[in-house]
Structure 1
Amino acid sequence: MSETKHSSKGTNDPKKGRIVIFSSIIVIVLVAAIAIMVYSNLNHKETKPKKQPTHRTEQTTRIDYQGQPFIGSSKAPVKVAVFSDYRCPYCKQFEETVVPKLEKEYINTGKISLYFFNDTVLGPGSVLAANASEEVYHQNPKAFWAFHKAVFAAQKDEKEQWVTKKLLTDIAKKTVPSIDLKAFENALNTKSRQDDVNKDESIAESVGVPGTPAIFVGDKMLEDGLNYDLLKQSINSALKGSK
């Protein structure tokens, strides 16, 4: 009796053999399924169109210039946009060293118009100054640039919280004599022009602005907008293309 029991559990048991074979088939099927999934995924990645690398000077997303502060003729063949922060020292540099050259050579001669966009990257002070500038523009578009330049002229070290309601109010009184102070102070206290600021920042995001200042000639972003020679080349190229 014991020998019979022993032989029924031997290696030649057909039932155990079927279990082993069945288990092997399951493993093979699972491995095959995984292999198919991996291959399919790799194949999908390989056939998916690859995004071509782009250079900043090749940025071609269109900018919405409608309703933005600008200097120059509205009929100028080329538009130049600057995305700027009133607390940014490089933006101040652009305003005080590059813009005067642009005015003399291109703006006053009717070749380009220069547009300003707020891009508040340096905190609450930047947001406050942007709301102030939007309120001035809303009240008196012609006086905007005088206020705009005075704020940059008042700029201090980036680490200082120099933008205050009093400073902005004093600048507004000096540069915009007709200013409605009640409305201006309300803009400072409630950020009533934040929607306009948000619109500018939305445009900045849509065109891939990496930081301030960001300079666009038409719809193409320059690698270094503070390099006047590079800016001139881009403008001259755009002027030729506009003919």
Structure 2
Amino acid sequence: MSRIYLLTIPLTIGIITGLILVVFPESENDSKLFTVSKLIENGSPILGDSNAPITILEWGDYQCTFCYKFHQNTLDMINEKYIKTGKVKLVFKDFPLNGPDSLLAAQAAYCANDQDKYWQYHDELYKNWGGERTGWVTRDSLNSFAISVNLDLVEFNKCLDERKYENKVNSLYEFGREVGIDATPSFLVFNDNKIIKIRGNQPLEVFHKTFDELQIKNEINQN
């Protein structure tokens, strides 16, 4: 995934519903309209200031090699410079491409969210990444990660046993397909005026340029 794939999508202003973002598929007949809240809802808790003007919507898989590389490198730098300073917020949505283990890991993260430990558990999964389809995601390993972030294991395992979030994760995958996601990681980076799509684990400079472009557009629209 070394090639940069950026798609800018214009904003349509609705009279009643407010700001509407036009999201591909690229065919005009297949295009769908989603509000900003629709893009964000049902994903992870927001990382950063909920009022940050720019949103990164990341689509990822916990077994994905390039997702792991993004989280180990680029995200740390984005977090320090943009998220912690209130310029950008991040929402993660699951796009489990690597089979049942990815689906199970995604469910585990939402079970951790029941105990207000979503991001801690999310980070623990990537910290302990063991490759794609290698069998590192098991109930035992998930329990080990839960212990590391101080979860109540009884509650955590009850959540997994009941498959409480299986439908949620499947619906996120289907929603991703609806808006044109076909690989991980993929990102929709947007403000109230524009969406930019980034495909793959791109270098930090790509995100710098994207944030700058969205900031410039925002300033133009305010003048």
Q: TM over 0.5, yes or no?
A: yes
1:214 aligns with 2:181: no
Question: Which of 106, 113, 122 lines up with 1:130 in the alignment?
Answer: 106
Verify the 8 A CA contact 1:72 1:108 in the aligned structure 2.
Answer: yes
Verify the 8 A CA contact 1:85 1:118 in the aligned structure 2.
Answer: yes
- Cα displacement string for residues 181-211 of structure 1 (whole angstroms, at most 9, x for unaligned residues): 2332123233221122123212211210011
SS in structure 2 opposite 1:241? helix
Match of 1:65 in 2: 40
Match of 1:162 in 2: 136
What is the correspondence of 1:1-243 to structure 2 with a 5 Å cutoff?
56-58=6-8, 60-61=22-23, 62=34, 64-68=39-43, 69-140=45-116, 143-175=117-149, 177=150, 179-218=151-190, 219-243=195-219
SS in structure 1 opposite 2:58? strand
Verify the 8 A CA contact 1:216 1:222 in the aligned structure 2.
Answer: yes
Structure 2 unaligned regions, length at least 5 = 10-21, 24-33
More strand by share: 2
Runs of 4+ in 1 over 6 A off after TM superposition: none
Change (3 A) 1:81 1:221: same
Tell me whether 59-68 or 79-88 shows the greater mean CA deviation: 59-68
Distance 2:200 2:63 in 1: 19
Verify the 8 A CA contact 2:66 2:200 in the aligned structure 1.
Answer: no
Q: Which amino acid aligns with 1:139?
A: Q
Pairwise CA RMSD = 1.8
Distance 1:199 1:240 in 2: 34
SS in structure 2 opposite 1:232? helix
Distance 1:212 1:196 in 2: 18
Structure 1 residue 151 displacement after superposition: 0.6
TM-score (norm 2): 0.77
Distance 1:128 1:108 in 2: 30
SS in structure 2 opposite 1:58? strand
Q: Which amino acid aligns with 1:106?
A: Y
Structure 1 residue 123 displacement after superposition: 0.5
Distance 1:182 1:237 in 2: 47
Structure 1 unaligned regions, length at least 5 = 1-54
SS in structure 2 opposite 1:64? helix
Percent identity over the alignment is 24
